[in-house]
Amino acid sequence: MAHPVITLVEAVVLGVVQGLTEFLPISSTAHLRVVPALFHWDDPGTAFSAVIQLGSVVAVLAYFYKDILEIGGGALRGIKAQDFGCRDVRLAGAIVIGTIPVCVLGLLLKGLLEQDGSPLRGLPVVGVASIGMGLLLLLAEKLAKHQRSIDDMGARDGFFVGLGQAMALIPGCSRSGSTLTAALFMGMKRADAARFSFLLGIPAVTLSGLLELYHLYKEGMQDVSVTSLALGLVASLVVSYLAIAWLMKYLQTHSTWLFVIYRLIFGITVLVLSSMGIIG
């Protein structure tokens, strides 16, 4: 399968878009689909998109490395002491269990998602999904109690939020948006919901990016140059880190209304421009 031609400028722009939208609940996949359409660039495809997500993975690892070491070390100590109810064992278990749905569905739908002209990558799907998830986030904001912290998470919470993560296989849903929404429905505080969303995304996004990187290497890089990939990765890493830091601070004192409004406007705009043939 031939890969699209991606220039250095396109790679940097797409890396910045990836960094801005991966952790904000507005869908990086949707923006990586819409931005090239606006500029009449080739669709970068799921492979390039997944690879530059690795920049976002490095950013989240760097930002939350203390949490990761604490949870990992605490889980090992808890398992060794057979204290399976301790906070770190529960959190680690929630992340593992929450990763299963997206891995299973991702493998089952991989062919359909990457197929040329796949309806799941169509702009109408992106627009509808953006609006639908925006309304779900609005509902979560209205109904959520915002009382539980990340320390209260368990296997049931992890699985429910993991189902939300699996929804993000549909472009426009947003991995961070769907997991944040699911966590809010579980009664979590906004900043804690975002923190768990980030930690939960590390295994799935890492595996996805590494798998696509392997496929690119195996098939031959063809029109996707190493330089383009590198620039996209660096841009994604830097902007992702800044986006994480901003969102964690923002959600400590603000609701998610800003993102609800943006998702609705974005989704409606995509549907209108697509129906008019301006983007496609």
Q: Which of 165, 155, 243 is nearest to 204 (CA)?
A: 165
Q: Distance between CA atoms of 129 and 46, rounded to whole angstroms?
A: 18
Helix segments in 147-225, DSSP class H: 155-167, 175-185, 190-219
Confirm whether 3 is domain-assigned: no
Single-letter amino acid code for the residue at 278: I
Asked whether residue 280 is domain-assigned, the answer is no
On whether the CB atoms of residues 141 and 170 are closer than 8 A, the answer is no
* Residue-wise pLDDT tens digits, 103-149: 999 888 877 776 666 667 789 999 999 999 999 999 999 998 899 99
Q: What is the pLDDT of residue 221?
A: 57
CA atoms of 160 and 136, how far apart (whole Å): 15
Identify the pLDDT of residue 104.
Answer: 92
Contact indicator for 91, 150 with CB cutoff of 8 Å: yes
Q: What pLDDT score was predicted for residue 4? A: 60
pLDDT of residue 118: 67
What's the CA dihedral at 57, 60, 62, 63 to 10 degrees?
Answer: 170
For residue 64, give every residue at least 6 positions away whose Cβ sits within 8 Å of its Cβ, in sequence order, or none: 195, 198, 199
According to the model, what pLDDT value does residue 224 have? 65
pLDDT along the chain (280 residues), means of 10: 73 95 92 90 76 90 96 96 95 96 87 68 90 97 92 94 93 93 96 95 86 73 74 95 97 96 97 91
Q: What is the pLDDT of residues 69-102, one digit of tens each?
A: 999 999 999 999 999 999 999 999 999 999 999 9
Cβ–Cβ < 8 Å for 165, 175? yes
* CA nearest neighbour of 107 among 166, 57, 156, 164: 166
| Phi and psi torsions of 70, nearest 5° | -65, -45
What residues form DSSP beta bridges with 148?
Answer: 188
* pLDDT reported for residue 205: 85
The pTM for the full model equals 0.90
Please report the pLDDT score of residue 1 as a whole number.
46
Give the span between the Cα atoms of 178 and 26, in whole angstroms.
9
The verdict on residue 116 lying in a domain is: yes
Cβ within 8 Å of residue 9, ≥6 positions away: none
In a domain, 265, yes or no: yes
Judge whether 235 lies within some domain.
yes
Q: How far is CA 242 from the centre of its chain?
A: 16
Is residue 196 included in any domain, yes or no?
yes
Structurally, how many domains does the chain consist of? 1
Contacts of 42 (CB under 8 A, 6+ apart): 4, 5, 6, 36
For residues 92 and 146, give the distance between their C-alpha atoms in angstroms, rounded to a whole number: 22
Enclosing domain of residue 256: 8-275
Angle ∠(209,129,207) on CA atoms, nearest 5: 15
